[in-house]
Each structure stands twice: as C-alpha cells, then as structure tokens.
Amino acid sequence: MNLAQFPRRGYVKTPTPIEFLPNFSKALGGKVNVYIKRDDLLPGCSGGNKTRKLDFCIADALAKGADTIITCGAVQSNHCRLTLSWAVHEGLDCHLVLEERVPGSYNAEASGNNFLFQLLGVKSITVVPGGSPMLDEMEKVAEKLRAEGKKPYIIPGGASNEIGALGYVGCAQEIMQQMFDMGINFDHVFVPSGSAGTHAGMIAGFVGNNMNIPMSGIDVSRPGDVQQEIVYNLAQKVLNKLGTGIEMPKDKVVCYGDYYLPGYSRPNDAMIEAVKLLAQTEAILLDPVYSGKAFAGMIDLIRKGNFAEGSNILFLHTGGSPALYAYMPTFRQ
C-alpha cells in the first residue's frame, strides 16, 4: 500500500525496535516467546504511539494553512501531550479540551502529563464533564479563535481518524519488514485499543499486506462488542482512503473488553501486576491507562493457555509512561 501519496512531516525517521523479552517470558512459564514493539521510543516529548498519527494529521493541518491546533483527551492524555509537543516543534499554538471521565479527577497541579502540558506552554486548557460531545466542545474553542483571527485545525481524540490511522498502516508495514530482517514469524499480535486509530490502522495494514497474523485488541475504555464495531468501521475507512478496494473481513477485528474494568483510567490489580512485572523483569515502563491494561490482558490470555508452546507473541507498546507519576499512590500500596 502506497503511503507516499499522503503528506506527512517525517517525524518517524527510523523503525522502532522489536525486542525479545526473555526474563518476562520466563516469568510466565517460558512456554511462549514474548516480544515487544517499542513505539514508546518514538520521537516527541516522552514518546508514544500518537507521533505516527500526528505525522499525517499535522501535515494535513499545515497544508490547510492552520496556525493553531485544537485536540482533546482525558485529563492525563498522552495524545494531548504529544499533540502539544509537535505543535511546539512546528511553531503552532495548541489548545486542549480535557474530558473529566472520572468526576473530580482534573487537578491543574497534578504530576504526569498535566505537569508537562504547562511545561510545554499550552495556550489554554478547557475542562469538560465526562460524556461531553468532544467535537462540539473543540468547535466552541475553534469559534473563539477564529473570531480572534486564528486559523485552527481540530485533531480528534487520539488522532483517530482515517488520516491519523495511516501512521499505523505504516507501522504494520514496518513490522512486516522487521520480521523478514529478523527471520521471525509472529503467531499473534496484541495492541491496546482505545480511540481505535492504532488498532484500526494496524489491522488495515495487516489485511492490506496479506500478513495473515491474528491480532487482538485489548480495550481500555469500552465493552468488546462496542469497540469491535468502532475499530471495524475505521479500518474500512482507512482501506478506502488507501484505494485498496478491500472489504475488511469482520472476523479479523477482535476486541477483548473485560480488562479495562472498573473503568477507563481506573486502576485494577491485573494492571498493577503487569506494570510491576515488566518493570522488574525487563526494566521497561508501561502506563497505567493503556499499555498497562492491554499488557495485563495479554498476560491473562497467555496464562489461560490460548497459545501453543513455542508461539511467538508480539505486543505493541504504545508508550504513556509519564502518566505513571500521577498514579504513584496506586503503585506504593
């Protein structure tokens, strides 16, 4: 699939590494071989998966003459951190709309990404209640800025539209080349599944390149059946944008919706175990909202014997470790 037909800024200059996790694999019994795709090491302030998506979204914004970026996310949003950081890099203003999905959870003095928003020089932060119509809320900010003579461009939460998801088509193609270079075939791939752009782009890339590797999304915010439909619809839009003529097979989109409970960004014991286990076996940091819960889901499915002995499993690490510092009491209990 030809991604060169779409403008991008070139933020991703080299492939992120795929690393074998020998100590972690041994800690799970040593029956399967677990690898990790280190998208936590992508460029941008403190790294993370959104850089791949913003590579395309900000290129589109600049092509349309924007001088200001507006985006949204939860109160500790990694997407907002990275959008702000790339806006700073490009000399663009950036305004954030934060959704208080857990009532009372926003604290302007908080650590983690909240601190980084201020350090990076965010132009404004608007906090809205959980369940607010976020596109409408961002449009309100855009209207005010237009009245001031600015040219705002709205990037949806997670940069999860058919433009941003192209970044993860690129990641799928990158993985395909790395598999060839490393001489390894993966039997299964796990991805965190939230705003859906990463999952949808990856599965569109896998299907479009005939990779024939099963992929599971571990949901971080919704029940599996709801998430599955969102991912499926976006993946189809991505395939259409690429002009593939491919109809996304519904059975390729698999989402596990049990591991995010008791709710988005709310800690659970499995997430805490997963974060500690990877840190203490491989010195790799997960985040408590996305990669931590997705990794916990993968651990559970491996422990349940879902994979044949000797299977090679790949986990896509989407980053987000700065949010850990806002959850220190959780890990010190």
Return the structure tokens found at 15: 């492939």
Of 25, 77, 85, 216, the catalytic one is 77
Give the C-alpha separation, 159 to 28, whole Å: 34
Which amino acid, residue 81?
R
What counts of helices (H) and strands (E) characterise the chain? 11, 10
Ramachandran quadrant class, 243 (left: phi over 0; alpha: psi -120 to 50; beta: rest): left
Q: Is 77 a catalytic residue?
A: yes
In degrees rounded to 5, what are phi and psi of residue 125? -125, 125
* DSSP for residue 106: -
- Parallel, antiparallel, or unpaired for β 18-20 and 33-38? antiparallel
Length of the chain: 333
**Residue with the two structure tokens 């998801």:** 165
Instruction: Give the closest residue to 158 by CA, choosing from 146, 150, 167.
Output: 167
Residues with Cβ within 8 Å of residue 333, at least 6 apart in sequence = none
Peptide bond into 17 cis (omega under 30): no
Q: Which residue has the tokens 């926003």?
A: 106
**Would you put residue 183 in left (φ > 0), alpha (ψ -120 to 50) or beta?**
left
The residues annotated with a catalytic role in the active site are 77
